[in-house]
Structure 1
């Protein structure tokens, strides 16, 4: 295959295939080494070219490394293509994948395994959804079958004359009779004497197709009078009423609970006093009338300090408007509301909190107060910020990664569009990095990469953006490039600082760097990808011309 074809296929593998592609080298001892991963793999797994040449155990925790090793060894044992499914953590949450491992042979010896990893998250979620629907249907059928036999309320099946045809298990609990003892009896035989007339009246109404519900008293075989709520429902088959269901709910316990309801305010206070959440009651004017004791522990303020304060008094100014709007919207729409916000604690610091507010209305549907339950989510917010940082930064150097750099470059190009401002891009790498990596080992190579980033950072301005593209390749954006001379001055400082003696672990050596420089034109703004391609071309020219130098392309002057 000629060089052009090779570059074409390499570009297709790297940029053209949206599935993740890994090429793993297999040595004679069945050890597996990363040899290639495409852009899709880098974006979704946050791996970089640092893993090239490393084994699974050099990249992943032990459990993950052993899992991968087992799968790849199985391919060697079977000597055929193998597919398996797996899941992994990504910045967007849990992802499901299908991996196809294809062994490649040379003279009968497996020398590489190509892993093609497809994202099957949507398929899995769809399968789970279908299975969930089937399970739900089965559960509903079981619920329907169980409604009669296992209902906790007594159910009697009656004919249109009021005779008892059947009863469920709970009927014995409410009436004290087994079904066989009352079958073919009139249901009114079970009604307390003073309520029989009312029972006959509502039974008459339900026979005309009108469901009825009423509180009545029934007779228990041994316990005397029992208070019940009875619901009479017509049994309709093919449009005709063929019988009546009588559902009798024992409400003796509810009557007792009604007596305890008067103590509910005390019960609420007991719950609030022992809750770790912040419980707040806000009147219709937005002022606090009650806070739970947990305010003292969480916010380090005495509870009395909050009574009479407006509920937004300690909220971060950036969060005031959206909280007020949500508060008002909740009242108008009669809906609960959730928000995340920052509030100041006793030390003057702001903590992240998440609240759930529930509006309360009187019998005339007039808003009376809002009950708000909130909790401290600062740790969760910190974790989310860590995940955000991981998605946009290189794990080895801590510098921004390609994704972050490209987003900032696109944004910067949009900002300077239509102005006379220009920006410059400097792409660079170390001239002898492969030699250093091969001779001194990957661990030293990683430290060299870190030191490379630190040295460049030490000679650039705070407004400049340095990022690591992968391997030993770094890129620098100068957003305020006033002239070509300013840009080459920066390049000169980078060359000089890299030329200084290197001390890494117990190794001392010299190395150099090459730079490709692009300066944009304010009159014909180039795309971000165009700038990077030209910078890469200038870097290649710098290396071809002897390394340890730079090459410049100025879109305004059209000069090199």
Structure 2
């Protein structure tokens, strides 16, 4: 029944034409005449409409019914199919101006499949061409390409570093700012998965950020530091956003880094100024207080003795009055340098105001060690002082306190050293005294 019904359909020309005329593809059945000329024998309605052909076009040589440029293309492709003796497929672009539906777009893109038909003697008698309109598809592709080009222009024009990564956290693409600032190209990063821009101390932080991004969160204004190809550290303000695949599943992320290295340097400079004496460059009272608290906690844990020195320059006011404040400033700077050289590497020297200095002496195994340090300080000050061609004699009085019972407060420890300094001044200056609770003096 099925075969019979199929044969009946093939024997009904009216049904055949109805079928091909309802096709969106263009159908051209071309006869190869004995003189090798070509003429149309069957055209469906879309094929006729393309070039405005009518029933009178049948039987005429196609060069007489087709526009010249279209004819040359068709003839060349028909000859190619006949020569190869097998179907060929090709694309071309045709400009059509007479069709109403193309009044706003005269360019049509076609995909043509030409199949040669041979008789029993191996002669090509007909050529069947099925032509598909690819204009809409090509326009969509063109629009996608335009969007891609615009995106790439923006992507590579922004000053911020940007890159994408996949679900395995491998970098997939980077912009020009990334290559310029961090030094790595996308090709290098894709080829070598071992390359990392993450410092060791930043990996745990990044892991937490990625977990938040996986959950769909956008992490913004997060301060991070990254490593360049040359090994430099750059500080960034980072934003991390999730990316999804066509099924809506998490598929990686996009990252934007704003370079804040200069801002960080400026902030560090401000911190430096806030915690250091501008004249001598030494830590100031605030910085000293912070370090003293930390060292007192450490001393409690380690049971090692901590000592505080308070020292000043004897008769400094007279130096200022006699030589002027400029000379006085030079004396303070030289005093700081000499004392710094006399103390141990891990000792902490600070200027807390005027001619008053403090020294934090941590991790003492013996209290007598402070006497050696005090002696070295006194000795370094005995060397000749020549400031601005002026020969000046400089001495210092030193008060020393200990943090050994671990029950003193910071201000008490400092006050005890200050009381010992007072005792040193009472004893004629140019000496050191250790705080003694009973006598407020030293041994």
Global fold match (TM > 0.5): yes
Deviation at 1:554, TM superposition (A): 5.0
Correspondent of 1:317 among 186, 193, 200 = 200
Correspondent of 2:429 among 547, 550, 554 = 547
Contact between 2:306 and 2:362, CA under 8 Å: does it hold in 1? Answer: yes
Q: Which residue of 2 aligns with 1:381?
A: 264
Shift in alpha-carbon separation, 1:264–1:556, aligned structure 2, 3 A: farther
Shift in alpha-carbon separation, 1:559–1:437, aligned structure 2, 3 A: closer
Q: Which residue of 1 aligns with 2:181?
A: 298
Deviation at 1:352, TM superposition (A): 2.1
2:435 partner SS? strand
Q: Which residue of 2 aligns with 1:482?
A: 365
Q: Which residue of 1 aligns with 2:310?
A: 427
Deviation at 1:555, TM superposition (A): 6.3
Deviation at 1:512, TM superposition (A): 1.1
Runs of at least 5 residues in structure 1 that lack an aligned partner in the other structure: 1-255
2:215 partner SS? helix
Shift in alpha-carbon separation, 1:476–1:403, aligned structure 2, 3 A: same
Count of residues in Structure 1 that have an aligned counterpart in Structure 2 = 304
Post-superposition Cα deviations, 1:398-423, rounded to whole Å, max 9, x if no partner, equal 11111111111111111122653211
Q: Which residue of 1 aligns with 2:408?
A: 526
Could you state the TM-score of these two structures normalised by the residue count of structure 2? 0.63
Q: Which residue of 1 aligns with 2:76?
A: none
Which of 1 and 2 has higher RCO (CA within 8 Å, sep 6+)?
2
Deviation at 1:441, TM superposition (A): 1.1
Q: Which residue of 1 aligns with 2:229?
A: 346
Give me the whole-angstrom Cα distance separating, in 1, the residues matched to 2:165 and 2:252. 6
| Pair 1:511-2:385 in alignment | no
Contact between 1:521 and 1:554, CA under 8 Å: does it hold in 2? Answer: no
Give me the whole-angstrom Cα distance separating, in 2, the residues matched to 1:339 and 1:419. 37
Could you state the TM-score of these two structures normalised by the residue count of structure 1? 0.51
Give me the whole-angstrom Cα distance separating, in 2, the residues matched to 1:376 and 1:311. 24
Shift in alpha-carbon separation, 1:557–1:282, aligned structure 2, 3 A: farther
Q: Which residue of 2 aligns with 1:442?
A: 325
Give me the whole-angstrom Cα distance separating, in 2, the residues matched to 1:278 and 1:364. 28
Shift in alpha-carbon separation, 1:277–1:418, aligned structure 2, 3 A: closer
Q: Which residue of 2 aligns with 1:460?
A: 343
Contact between 1:315 and 1:341, CA under 8 Å: does it hold in 2? Answer: no
Deviation at 1:373, TM superposition (A): 1.4
Post-superposition Cα deviations, 1:191-250, rounded to whole Å, max 9, x if no partner, equal xxxxxxxxxxxxxxxxxxxxxxxxxxxxxxxxxxxxxxxxxxxxxxxxxxxxxxxxxxxx
Give me the whole-angstrom Cα distance separating, in 2, the residues matched to 1:367 and 1:355. 20
1:525 partner SS? coil
Deviation at 1:261, TM superposition (A): 6.4
Choose 533-542 or 350-359, whichever is displaced more.
350-359
| Pair 1:281-2:140 in alignment | no
1:285 partner SS? coil
Correspondent of 1:270 among 136, 153, 168 = 153
Give me the whole-angstrom Cα distance separating, in 2, the residues matched to 1:559 and 1:500. 28
1:526 partner SS? coil
1:397 partner SS? coil
| Pair 1:369-2:247 in alignment | no
2:363 partner SS? coil
Shift in alpha-carbon separation, 1:322–1:536, aligned structure 2, 3 A: same
Give me the whole-angstrom Cα distance separating, in 1, the residues matched to 2:335 and 2:376. 13
Deviation at 1:558, TM superposition (A): 8.6
Correspondent of 1:335 among 199, 218, 222 = 218
Larger Rg: 2
